[in-house]
Structure 1
Amino acid sequence: MSLYTMLMALVFLLILSGFFSLSETSMMAINRYRLRYLAKQGHRGARLTIKLLNHTDRLLGVILLGNNLLNTASATLVAVIVAMLFGHNDLALFLGSVAVTFAILIFSEITPKVIAAAYPERIALTASYVLTPLLTICYPVVWFVNLFVRGLLILFRLNPEKNQLEQKISIEELKTLVLEGGYFIQHKHQSMLLNLFDLETITVDDVMVPRSRVEAIDISDNDETIQTQLLTCHHTRLPVYRERMDNITGIIHVRKILNQMQNGKITAEMIEKVLHKPYFIPSGTRLFSQLQLFQENQMRIGLVVDEYGEWLGLVTLEDIMEEIIGEFTTQAPTQMSTFLKQGDGSIIVEGSTLLRDLNRKLNFQFPLDGPKTLNGLIVEHFQDIPEAGVSLSIANYPMEIIQTKNRVVKTVKIYPVFTNAKVDDSES
């Protein structure tokens, strides 16, 4: 065999070895979710790749078998070339070994693997057409080698196949995938997906309307008072109680009652006939679970109760939907604005405002692992009901108590010294 032929054979061996390195890295680096999508679309290369990856031991067996055979053949061929040119010169053999090691590293290992890591999908799908028949041809050898591999795994009590089946993607990993897919996912859709994941960590206590702010009807009032309240209310469903707010008798759909006005005045007896049984929700229920319960029970409104049966507030289907897609309802005109921007840049906030709303709308960073409202956070800070005019700082946000009433903090002024809060003029 001439020297030229052996040099060409060496180049060919290095190229083939590079192909196996390309295949190995691209197969391991390919996006499995993208691969499944392509397979569902009918891509034959994707289907072949999935079949190969389903038996990783066989895939790696045929790749490493070919790679090592080719590298060994390359080293042997270089030794023959050196012997032909320089005889049995030890220095020449050493330099030849160094040269072939350098060539394998550059042309058969590092460069192919860098390319495969950059373009795994394109290379893996193409390589699957070659590796599939090659695995069929070399299967007896691969099977024999894998016998020893499995024996070692059993000896060390390892089960890679079981570990692969048990691997599941976590919520945090899903969030990372959504965030990193920002170029392909619209910002609004991205925000909705992230909010949907948060439903597993948010409870009904975080979004409920506190009982003190719930619009309700006292069925023990006279008919004129009840009718006036129905005509001026700002919600379509209202809780109905008798004498005390604790004594809830049901939920009323205002539209059904107003339709009865054609037959005369609205009376308490008329309301009692169309009352719906109240739907109670245990405090601490996860929003995602409650969304499913609303769907299963065909309900749209529920009353949150604590462990003693005392109702704490009200949650509607719309409240949960707003946590996913953002606010889409308008504030009742008779209610005081939750946020009121002042000329000096400070913001006056109601004490009953939910901390989640402050963080979301004003870009604050109040802690959410304790009290749910600004009033609760301030009371927890002092371990007492503060007087008006008292100043404090929580989470580096300086604030001043403007008004306290009935053992609660009614209004608070938050100064923007350490904040980047932005308030819409439409909310002021």
Structure 2
Amino acid sequence: MIEDSSSELWVAALVVILCLLLSAFFSAGETAFTGASKARMLFLEKGGDRRAILVNRLLQMRERFIGTVLIGNNIVNIGVSAFATSVLVAIFGDGGALYATVIMSVLVIVFAEVMPKTIAISSPDKVSLALSGPMSWVVAFIGPLAIAIERLVRLMLKPFGIHIGANTPILSASEEMRGQLDLLHKEGNVAKVERDMMGGLLDLEELSVSEVMVHRTKMRTINVDLSSEEIVREVLSSPYTRMPLWRGSQENIIGVLHAKDLLRALDAVGGDAGRLEVESIALESWFVPDTTSLRDQLKAFLTKKTHFALVVDEYGEVMGLVTLEDILEEIVGDIKDEHDLSVQGVRPQPNGSVNVDGSVPIRDLNRVMDWNLPDEEATTIAGLVIHEAQAIPDTGQIFTFHGFRFQVLRKSRNRITALRITPLAVLRKADEASPSARRTPA
């Protein structure tokens, strides 16, 4: 009788150990495969690593894999708890249920959850590669059950208007990359400049040319009816190499004059500007819709082998111009050379506030100051203030939104020309540091 009890205990111990190992396998697999680097797995797969091929297959069927792990882990944990309870109740009577609950809770939490997940999260790539073979067999075996349960859940959610696409990620690929970049920057592995450049690449699809163009009010153009000598002087005094030509009105662009073409033509006539026919050496104007994405416009620049285009709205009216440099600046930041104008319109103040020209694009301000002001509803900082205020504010008015205080410094007609922006965190620090804030009542 004693030998039978002893053998039962040994069998019970072996079953508990086996179930704990299986539970640890599922816990480690879930954590490792979720945290594994897809880029590294793809690199290893291209190198012929069969384990990486299995990992990528499992990651492609993400919902089935997660369902399999949850089902397997729950079956094992429930089974081992029930088995341990029945054995301990047979040995200790009614008190065995309490012993089983305490003992199995400790064993499952420590050895089947915390320990394997800690190991997996420290080296997700290595662990996922090591578990790729066994996990593939488990998914193949339990997968059909997971699919059936998944379909049942979808049917149960349909009456509530919740529709879940198969293998549909919550975040898009670009959003996942942004999240990774922000996380790596926060951890110090990616510098701000590198994060901004990579983020700029991801933004090319979302931004349109109207958001980065030089507005027509700031375009430097030349009246083609001026004398050749005056046109030469205009081109030589300009910081730009390409100048739109207009006739009658500045909206009527008839061509684009390139400084190099003008100098070649001037050399061909022996330097006599009076003999130039400026209109004949001008390039044909290229008009693009204002809704064109920066990615498509970049491809178009590369295809046409030109760096300059005029932006028009739906009515064909010229809104501004966009250059290859404007698009590149969205990736690498502001590009300046010895001929560029030095005024950027962003002037940080000693007290932590920033004086900003109203025409400064929100994206440029965010990049320079490492802020996160929204740019969905407006392109310029003045446009953001008008949008939030739902009116054209007067000089001196102050608004607070998005964690900043905006004060209108100057206004010209209906345009805000200058603003003072102060982060609320700076204001709070200033209030805390003031003598009145530190004074205690007598």
Bin for the TM-score computed over the shorter chain: 0.7 to 0.9
| Map of 1:31 onto structure 2 | 34
* Equivalent residue letter for 2:418: V
Aligned mate of 2:204, from 191, 194, 199: 199
Task: Tell me how far 1:411 sits from its aligned partner.
Answer: 5.0
Structure 1 residues 153, 306: closer, same or farther in 2, change over 3 A? closer
Pick closer, same or farther for the CA change 1:205–1:73 going to 2, 3 Å: same
Q: 1:322 to 1:410 in 2, by over 3 A?
A: same
CA drift of 1:322 comes to 0.8
Larger Rg computed on CA atoms:
1
1:253-302: CA deviations, max 9, x gaps?
Answer: 21232123322234685433332221222234333343333334443221
Paired residues of 1:15 and 1:108 also in contact (CA < 8 A): no
- Does residue 275 of the first structure (1) align with residue 282 of the second (2)? yes
- Equivalent of 2:325 in 315, 318, 321: 318
More deviation, 70-79/173-182: 70-79
Q: In the alignment, is the contact (CA less than 8 A) between 2:346 and 2:356 conserved in 1?
A: yes
Where does the alignment leave 5 or more consecutive residues of structure 1 unmatched?
83-91, 422-428
Partner of 1:303: 310
Residues of 2 paired with 1:205 and 1:31: CA distance? 40
Q: With structure 1 as the length reference, what TM-score do the two structures score?
A: 0.74
**Residue number among 219, 224, 228 corresponding to 1:223 in the alignment:** 228
**SS state at 1:31 partner:** helix
Residue in structure 1 matched with residue 263 of structure 2 by the alignment: 258
1:9-408 superposed matches below 5 A: 9-29=11-31, 30-31=33-34, 34=37, 37-38=40-41, 39-40=44-45, 42-50=48-56, 54=61, 56=65, 73-78=83-88, 82=91, 92-109=92-109, 111-120=111-120, 121=124, 122-130=126-134, 158=155, 163-167=165-169, 169-170=171-172, 171-182=174-185, 183=187, 184-263=189-268, 264=270, 265-266=272-273, 270-330=277-337, 332=339, 338-339=345-346, 350-361=357-368, 368-370=375-377, 372-373=379-380, 390-395=395-400, 396-401=405-410, 404=412, 407=413
Task: Tell me the number of residue pairs that the alignment of Structure 1 and Structure 2 aligns.
Answer: 397
CA distance in 1, matches of 2:219, 2:376: 24
Q: Sequence identity of aligned pairs in percent?
A: 23
| One-letter code aligned to 1:176 | G
Alpha-carbon contact 1:16-1:70 (below 8 Å) kept: no
The answer as to whether partners of 1:246 and 1:310 remain within 8 angstroms in 2 is: yes
CA contact under 8 A between 2:89 and 2:95: conserved in structure 1? no
Cα 1:408–1:302 shift into 2, 3 Å: farther
Q: Distance in 1 between matches of 2:137 and 2:292?
A: 55
The alignment partner of 2:16 has SS state of helix
1:6 Cα deviation from its structure 2 partner: 4.3
Structure 2's unaligned 5+ residue stretches are 158-163, 428-442
Higher mean Cα deviation, 170-179 or 69-78?
69-78
Asked if 2 retains the 8 angstrom alpha-carbon contact of 1:17 and 1:108, the reply is no
Q: Distance in 2 between matches of 1:11 and 1:103?
A: 12
Q: Secondary structure at the match of 2:29?
A: helix
Question: In structure 2, the residue corresponding to 1:165 is in which secondary structure?
Answer: coil
**1:20/1:64 contact within 8 Å kept:** no
CA distance in 1: counterparts of 2:48 and 2:168, whole angstroms: 27
Aligned-partner Cα distance in 2 for 1:167–1:275 = 51
Question: Cα RMSD (Å) of the superposition?
Answer: 4.3
Aligned-partner Cα distance in 2 for 1:268–1:366:
53
- Please give the alpha-carbon distance, in whole angstroms, between the structure 2 residues aligned to 1:341 and 1:190: 22
Q: Secondary structure at the match of 1:313?
A: strand
Q: What SS class does the counterpart of residue 94 from structure 2 fall into?
A: helix
Instruction: Give the residue type in structure 2 aligned to 1:327.
Output: D
Distance apart, 1:318 and its partner CA? 0.8
Q: Distance in 2 between matches of 1:348 and 1:157?
A: 54
Check whether the contact 1:45–1:129 (CA below 8 A) recurs between aligned residues.
Answer: yes
Q: 1:414 aligns with which of 409, 420, 423?
A: 420
> What one-letter code is carried by the residue in structure 2 that aligns with 1:177?
Q
Q: CA deviation at 1:164?
A: 3.8
Cα 1:133–1:220 shift into 2, 3 Å: closer
Measured in 2, the distance between the counterparts of 1:70 and 1:197 equals 49
Deviation at 1:341, TM superposition (A): 7.3
Aligned equivalents of 1:47 and 1:216: distance in 2?
Answer: 58
SS in 2 for 1:251: strand
Partner Cα separation in structure 2 for residue 2 and residue 345 of structure 1? 80
- Deviation, 1:314, is 1.4
The code of the aligned residue for 2:313 comes to D
> What letter is aligned with 1:19?
L
8 Å contact 1:348–1:411 — kept in the other structure? no
Asked if the contact 1:22–1:123 (Cα under 8 Å) also holds between the matched residues in 2, the reply is no
* Distance change in 2, residues 1:51/1:155 (3 Å): closer
Q: In 2, are the aligned partners of 1:397 and 1:418 still within 8 Å (CA)?
A: no
Contact 1:220–1:268 (Cα < 8 Å) also in 2: no
- The 3-state SS of whatever aligns with 1:249 is strand
